[in-house]
Amino acid sequence: MVRQNNQCAEEVDQVKLAELDRFIDERKDVKGLLIPALQRAQELFGYLPDEVIRHISRRLDIPFSEVAGVVTFYSFFSTVPRGRRLIRVCLGTACYVRGGQEVLAALRHELGIEVGQTTEDRLFSLEIGRCFGACGLAPVVMVDDDVHQRVKPARVRELLASYREEENEEHETDLVTEGVAE
């Protein structure tokens, strides 16, 4: 069932906060709980909204500025909603020299977003990386955990189409499972 109103969204947030609290409570005696708590929160919420960062700060009795500093230091954490698919373009030396910038430009154009943004349909987020350890396969693009090698700007539309198609198939399966589609 899709929840449409804000009250339901707030209830979902409270459920997620309760789950986060259970996670923290189960590990309260563990040293260095901040990063695991942030990781769990990001898994639950899809990103780290300010309210959640403040909640973790209070629960762990760590100054907000320190928690926020950790969030902004590590590129894994995001304070804006991410798409269901994370696209990362390598701009390490080998990828850069072999056309990584052009691949990035093609992705920005095709998606209609800039680095650090998410498409309106929340399907894709676009980020850059500095080295994926696949220099001989440059330029490299990762979509979630899928590594795409020797990517050409002219093939970007085709690359994205396969993920859009996969997303549509998953959506149709979900509708059939819920009994909405025939």
Domain segments of the chain as ranges:
6-73, 85-178
Question: What pLDDT score does 92 carry?
Answer: 94
Question: What pLDDT score does 172 carry?
Answer: 67
Question: What pLDDT score does 75 carry?
Answer: 76
The CATH H-level (homologous superfamily) assignment of domain 85-178 is: Glutaredoxin (3.40.30.10)
Question: What pLDDT score does 6 carry?
Answer: 44
Along the 182 residues of the chain, how does pLDDT read in single tens digits? 333 444 445 445 889 999 999 999 999 888 899 999 999 999 999 889 999 999 999 999 999 999 999 999 987 788 888 888 999 999 999 999 999 999 999 999 999 999 989 999 989 999 998 888 999 999 999 999 899 999 999 999 999 999 999 888 776 665 665 555 54
Report in angstroms the alpha-carbon separations of 173 from 123, 138, 176: 17, 35, 5
Q: Model's pTM, two decimal places?
A: 0.65
